[in-house]
Amino acid sequence: MKTVTLNNGIEMPIVGFGTDAANADLSYAQVMDAAVDAGYRLFDTASSYGNQDELGAYLAQSGLARNSYFLTSKVAQTEQGYENTLQAFKDTTAALKTDYLDLYLVHWPKFDPFFETWRALEHLYKEGYVKAIGVSNFEPHHLDRLLTQATVMPAVDQVETHPYFNQHVLHDYLTELGIQHQAWSPLGRGAVLNDPVLAQIADRYGVSIAQVILKWHVQHNVAVIPKSGNPVRMQQNLALDWNLTVTDMQRIDALQRGERIMGAPDENYVEDKW
């Protein structure tokens, strides 16, 4: 599994698995078994996903050594603030049946507890309960504000990224700061999967459209966490040992439409006075 090196030296798989994947014909454990068998070793969850107990129970009986996989979770909007975040971390690790996380993220920026939440993550990091800390859905102005008081640079910013919303401006800024760009919804939740340009490229390489999109991310050094309840697609999403040409990379770059799946963070949380 190819990895990226975070700004504190921690190695993180560049392709992970979104653990809220579902399949109507398979149990949660069967979906996770398929992911593990395919080779995934980064498992991404969050307090707000409501699956931490289920994931923790699965991992506890999976036979996987704790140091053999990378576990990410996120503190929810309703859990933010210094003491609340510390309690949320305790609840998360208890649910996941682990005494540490590899990566802990602030799920969304909120105005009022902004610095207190990050201070709690810094405490967890400095005490060794978390190997790396970061943010999710933070745009440049959120990062600028955070860095006025932060003593630890975020290691990761996990944001919506796909060919119709490629985050090229944010990507360049994260690269400048040394923060790893990680894409949630890297396939655009299906909307991008019908694009004729991508279909043409996929046909020429003899791969799926999803594989083309994921390879485009990876060649831009964007980490990805696709989710699928289909075991065949899980395997395909890891089969990226080939390269897109420069021309094809540029063709996919040109698909940018500025179209989000979800609203911008500031639009989602106007009550927080951004």
Enzyme catalytic residues: 49
3-class SS of residue 233: helix
Sheet holding 103-106, edge to edge: 17-18, 42-44, 70-75, 103-106, 133-136, 156-160, 180-184, 223-224
CB 75 within 8 A of CB 45: no
Q: Within a 13 Å sphere around the CA of 157, how many CA atoms are in the beta-carbon half?
A: 25
- Helices 82-96 and 114-126: crossing angle, nearest 10°? 50
Would residue 205 be called left, alpha or beta, if left means φ above 0 and alpha means ψ between -120 and 50 degrees?
alpha
CA 226 and chain centroid, separation: 8
48 DSSP assignment = G
